[in-house]
């Protein structure tokens, strides 16, 4: 065991052990505008992303997951990266950008790193649905 090394970068370990913007407790503790939920078809894990939007910008975000260390670290990083971005800019932050930010995730964990992005896209879909209702009336 002594000679075994972590396959994760220091930055991945930091985000896994100190996840940013994780939603502790129940949803009512965060005043969000929309929530997205996705499941990972590869492993069955789940991710929820809550967003606060103002003037088309994501001003804040929280998330919850049953996912693994890679999903936790990736979504922690994503939740930091999207703050202050427009919705379109935030949606462009893909798995490759998260991977670059974290300093490379193991390749076999790539499917975990897209969970946060997909939950964000689902939250945006809900946000846009709720905020386009009544337009043009």
Query: What residues make contact with ligand FES under the rule CB under 6 A?
Result: 40, 43, 45, 67-68, 70-71, 112, 115
131 token code pair: 């905020």
Identify the sign of the CA torsion 61, 62, 67, 73. Answer: positive
Which one, 39 or 91, has the nearer CB to ligand FES?
39
Asked whether 60 and 90 are in contact (CB, 8 A), the reply is: no
Catalytic residue among 34, 51, 87, 112: 112
Minimum distance of ligand FES from residue 121's CB (angstroms): 16
Give 21 or 65: the residue with its C-beta nearer to ligand FES: 65
- Measured from the CB atom, the residue of 19 and 67 that comes closer to ligand FES is 67
- Judge contact between 65 and 49, C-beta under 8 A: no
Q: Is-catalytic flag, 68?
A: no
Three-class secondary structure of residue 94 per DSSP: coil
Residue in 43, 69, 97, 121 annotated catalytic: 43
Distances (CA, A) of 118 to 28, 121, 125: 22, 5, 11
Q: Which is nearer to ligand FES, 82 or 105 (CB)?
A: 105
Instruction: Provide the angle, in degrees to the nearest 10, between the axes of the packed helices 69-81 and 115-132.
Output: 50
For residue 112, indicate whether it is catalytic.
Answer: yes
Give catalytic residue positions: 43, 112
């Amino acid at each position: 065991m002594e000679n075994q090394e972590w396959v994760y970068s220091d930055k991945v370990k930091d985000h896994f052990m100190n996840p940013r913007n994780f939603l502790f407790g129940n949803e009512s503790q965060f005043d969000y505008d929309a929530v997205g939920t996705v499941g990972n078809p590869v492993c069955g894990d789940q991710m929820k992303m809550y967003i606060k939007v103002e003037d088309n910008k994501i001003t804040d975000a929280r998330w919850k997951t049953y996912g693994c260390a890679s999903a936790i670290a990736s979504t922690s990083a994503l939740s930091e990266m999207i703050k202050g971005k427009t919705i379109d800019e935030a949606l462009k932050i893909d798995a490759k950008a998260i991977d670059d930010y974290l300093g490379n995730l193991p390749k076999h964990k790539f499917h975990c790193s897209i969970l946060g992005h997909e939950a964000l896209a689902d939250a945006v879909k809900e946000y846009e649905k709720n905020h386009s209702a009544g337009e043009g009336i």
